[in-house]
A and B are shown apart, each in its own frame.
Chain A
Amino acid sequence: MLDEIQKRLLREIADLHTVPSGAYNIRSNSKLEARNTTANIDIVSKTEKSGIDIYIKPGTKNESVHIPVVLSESGLKETVYNDFHIGEDCDVVIVAGCGINNCGTGDSEHDGVHRFIVGKNSKVKYVEKHYGEGDGRGKRILNPVTEVYQEEGSSVEMEMVQIKGVDSTVRTTLSKLEKGAKLVVRERLLTHGSQTAVSNYTTELNGEGSSADVVSRSVAKEDSYQKFVSRIVGNAPCTGHTECDAIIMNNARILAVPELEANDLDASLIHEAAIGKIAGEQIIKLETLGLTEQEAEEQIVNGFLK
């Protein structure tokens, strides 16, 4: 049974109030807590290493898979491999996420390696949320690796969210797109305290007519550090756009590194990056509505990350 802390972590990362409908695999403190499969979606534990294989039958529409992970014991370290095999012509939503509560002194670390093989013309929405809490001295560490292989005509939308609570993350995301495939990435990140967060996106546009739009919106507060590297490689006639839009506060530091590589005359690639503090006039405007300076900052940050 899940205790209250574990339930709360689940709520934060997967908006799950009860067990989800559809397929799911809930992992808690390195053990399988609950699993459900459906006629179209099968989940099988790996034998040679920890993790699962998720098989989604061709033509599966309007189904969802939830694979939350919660860690509430201090000092746990794990690496988990989850492979998604998505057939042709599917339309599915996949929700992953990791919540860590570390009240102890040992560091807790979860490294999830997620691999997606997206079949022809399939549509996938992938949501990944990270959340950490607990006031122990032990660190909360997450290092997710995501690999996405998109076959012809497929489309993937990834929403990556990490709001506070995680001390250290290195997020590595590699995508390879074939003909006509489309990728949209929306990252939202808030760091505070002395947290560090590094995001490395590499997107290879290998097929004619493929496209990618990789956008990060982030806020770095206090003494935190963020690094955002987004590399788009155009190996065919394709379109790519990447953008980093960041608010910096207090003593925080942000490094944004957009990289574009065009290896085809008809590759059209764009990058944009903007980093700055909250505009003084925005705070003043909200103060004229009766908010205090601190309330104004909160509203501006909340809106920005919405």
Chain B
Amino acid sequence: MLELKNLSFKVIDETGNEKTIIDDVSFTVKDDSFVVITGPNGSGKSTLARLIMGIEKPSAGRIFFDGEDITDKSITERANMGISFALQQPVKFKGIQVIDLLRLAAKKNLTVSQACEYLSFVGLCARDYVNREVNASLSGGELKRIEIATLLARNTKLSVFDEPEAGIDLWSFQSLNRVFENMRMDTKGSILIISHQERILNIADEIIILSGGKIIQSGAKDDILPSLLKDSTQAACSVLEGRA
């Protein structure tokens, strides 16, 4: 499905020095699998997702999608090949209504009730939202849910979510997980989620841990999760005890 081969991304920072954000990363997301990438703030997770979507171009390495080299393909081309991306910080648009955005995502003239179905799925009381503008009047959590709904409407082979849980209240967590589980069953596609949340890590098939732009650990959930939880408790404790 998706394969990253020796991917690197370097930038020149303010002081004129070269900075490596992604450092020789390789991994594969298999067909029908559910992979979660986790890691500390600033470790390069969002950058990696942007490289996959084509928003950033790698300094070195190749990206393959269904066996085809997509490294030089544009965002639009990748989107039309079947890659979707839900941003960590959803974009606002003056004048564009929620239903317009869902119609663009679905690439068809969804009826109001079809649009409402997607919204209900992400826990929004649909009738109140279809005609709202996707602007600053929506709360952060609402924007985040609408962002997820656009991916449901797109229904592509690969869906990448960047911290979908951010800003979403705890009460809705279970429904959010249900969204991902349903997506897996319905689309028979793969899901790649960037998350810090144990509850999301818990439903993964595979977990990749990124730190300082490198993969420091990856493997089946059952192999990674227990040690990850133990480590993070220790890390948190050492911070608390002033030893970090």
Interface residues of A (CB under 8 A from B): 217, 245, 279, 281-282, 284-293, 299-300, 302-306
Q: Evaluate contact between B96 and A303: CB separation under 8 angstroms.
A: yes
Q: Evaluate contact between A289 and B105: CB separation under 8 angstroms.
A: yes
Known: A245-B94, A285-B87, A303-B94. A291 touches B104 (CB 8 A): yes
Q: How far is the CB of A239 from chain B (nearest CB, A)?
A: 21
Q: Evaluate contact between A285 and B107: CB separation under 8 angstroms.
A: no
Q: Which residues of A contact B80 (CB under 8 A)?
A: 290
Majority secondary structure of chain A interface residues (helix, strand, loop or mixed): helix
Known: A284-B55, A284-B75. A289 touches B154 (CB 8 A): yes
Q: Evaluate contact between B93 and A303: CB separation under 8 angstroms.
A: yes
Q: Which residues of B contact A304 (CB under 8 A)?
A: 94-95
Q: Which residues of A contact B104 (CB under 8 A)?
A: 286, 289, 291, 299
- State which of A282, A291, A292, A305 has its C-beta within 8 Å of the C-beta of B93: A282
5 CB-based A-B contacts, threshold 8 Å:
A289-B107, A292-B76, A303-B100, A305-B95, A306-B95
Q: Which residues of A contact B107 (CB under 8 A)?
A: 289-290
Known: A299-B104, A303-B100. A288 touches B75 (CB 8 A): yes
**B85 within 8 Å of A (CB atoms):** yes
Q: Choose among B95, B97, B150 the residue with the greatest number of A CB atoms under 10 Å from its CB.
A: B95
**B91 within 8 Å of A (CB atoms):** yes
Majority secondary structure of chain B interface residues (helix, strand, loop or mixed): mixed
Q: Which residues of A contact B96 (CB under 8 A)?
A: 299-300, 303
- State which of A281, A293, A299 has its C-beta within 8 Å of the C-beta of B76: A293
Q: Which residues of A contact B79 (CB under 8 A)?
A: 287-290
Q: In the complex, what residue of chain B is closest to A306 when comparing beta carbons? A: B95
Q: Which residues of A contact B154 (CB under 8 A)?
A: 289-290
Cα–Cα distance between A279 and B107 once the two chains are bound (Å):
23
Q: Evaluate contact between A285 and B76: CB separation under 8 angstroms.
A: no
Q: How far is the CB of B81 from chain A (nearest CB, A)?
A: 9
Q: Evaluate contact between B76 and A282: CB separation under 8 angstroms.
A: no
Q: Evaluate contact between A289 and B91: CB separation under 8 angstroms.
A: no
Interface string of B53-92 (1 = CB under 8 A from A): 1010000000000000000001110011000110100110
Cα–Cα distance between A285 and B88 once the two chains are bound (Å):
12
Q: Which residues of B contact A217 (CB under 8 A)?
A: 95
Q: Which residues of A contact B105 (CB under 8 A)?
A: 289
Known: A289-B154, A303-B96. A279 touches B91 (CB 8 A): yes
Cα–Cα distance between A120 and B163 once the two chains are bound (Å):
57
Cα–Cα distance between A286 and B96 once the two chains are bound (Å):
12
Q: In the complex, what residue of chain A is closest to B96 when comparing beta carbons? A: A303
Interface string of B99-135 (1 = CB under 8 A from A): 0100011010000000000000000000000000000
Q: In the complex, what residue of chain A is closest to B87 when comparing beta carbons? A: A285
Q: Evaluate contact between A303 and B91: CB separation under 8 angstroms.
A: no
Q: How far is the CB of B114 from chain A (nearest CB, A)?
A: 16
Q: In the complex, what residue of chain A is closest to B97 when comparing beta carbons? A: A303
Cα–Cα distance between A304 and B96 once the two chains are bound (Å):
7
Cα–Cα distance between A158 and B104 once the two chains are bound (Å):
31
Q: Evaluate contact between A289 and B93: CB separation under 8 angstroms.
A: no
Cα–Cα distance between A88 and B171 once the two chains are bound (Å):
56
By Cβ-Cβ distance, the 3 closest A-B pairs, closest first, are A303-B96, A303-B95, A290-B79
Cα–Cα distance between A102 and B84 once the two chains are bound (Å):
46
A286-B104, A288-B85, A299-B104 are known; give 20 further A-B pairs, CB within 8 A: A217-B95, A282-B91, A282-B93, A284-B75, A285-B87, A285-B90, A285-B91, A289-B79, A289-B105, A289-B154, A290-B76, A290-B79, A290-B107, A292-B76, A293-B76, A299-B96, A300-B93, A303-B94, A303-B96, A304-B95
Q: Which residues of A contact B53 (CB under 8 A)?
A: 288
Q: Which residues of B contact A300 (CB under 8 A)?
A: 93, 96
